[in-house]
Amino acid sequence: MKYFIPALIWAIVILVLSLISVNRIPHFAWSDFIALDKVAHIGMYLVFALLLNAGFYCSGRKERRVREYVLFGALFGLIVEGLQYVSHTGRHFEWADVAANTLGMYLGVWSFIKSKNNFKICGLFLKKF
């Protein structure tokens, strides 16, 4: 379980940042913010996928389950978007965000699989927890 602590912490960070009131976000021109928003979604979920993969890998589960990991992240992103829809924070549900979250998960899983340093990840970072 200890290997999943970083992924759990990151999931909480995603949830908090996704549900924070839009009144607390600095004002941007929407045309500039939309592209930045999608890049942020991809980046947040890419890191989430890397942390989840590292947790599974370091806990002894070495098989690559790309579909399951991507679907898990996509479902988490869908739930977060749903919470935005029902919350009163000025945020709303966007399918484009769900797509960006899913792409980020896929890129994170792919990056982890292509990495030749999986053991270093376990030794340098996750064993600290």
Number of domains in the chain: 1
- Location of structure tokens 């679907």: 71
The pLDDT-based confidence of 128 (bands split at 50, 70, 90) is: low
The pLDDT-based confidence of 119 (bands split at 50, 70, 90) is: low
pLDDT tens digits, one per residue of 101-111: 999 999 998 88
Residue 32 in any domain: the answer is: no
What is the pTM for the complete model shown?
0.80
Q: What angle do CA 119, 67, 125 make, to 5 degrees?
A: 25
pLDDT tens digits, one per residue of 34-92: 578 889 999 999 999 988 888 888 777 766 677 888 888 889 999 999 998 898 777 88
Residue 31 in any domain: the answer is: no
Between 97 and 90, the higher pLDDT residue: 97
DSSP character for 27?
A: P
* Domain span including residue 75: 2-20+43-128
Residue 27 in any domain: the answer is: no
Residue 30 in any domain: the answer is: no
Q: Which residues contact 11 (CB under 8 A, 6 or more apart)?
A: 48, 76
| Cα 122 to Cα 11, 59, 66, 87, 96, distances in angstroms | 19, 9, 19, 37, 33
Residue 29 in any domain: the answer is: no
Residue 67 in any domain: the answer is: yes
Between 116 and 70, the higher pLDDT residue: 70
Residue 7 in any domain: the answer is: yes
Q: Which amino acid is at 25?
A: I
Between 117 and 16, the higher pLDDT residue: 16
Between 2 and 12, the higher pLDDT residue: 12
Stretch (H or E) spanning 18: helix 5-19
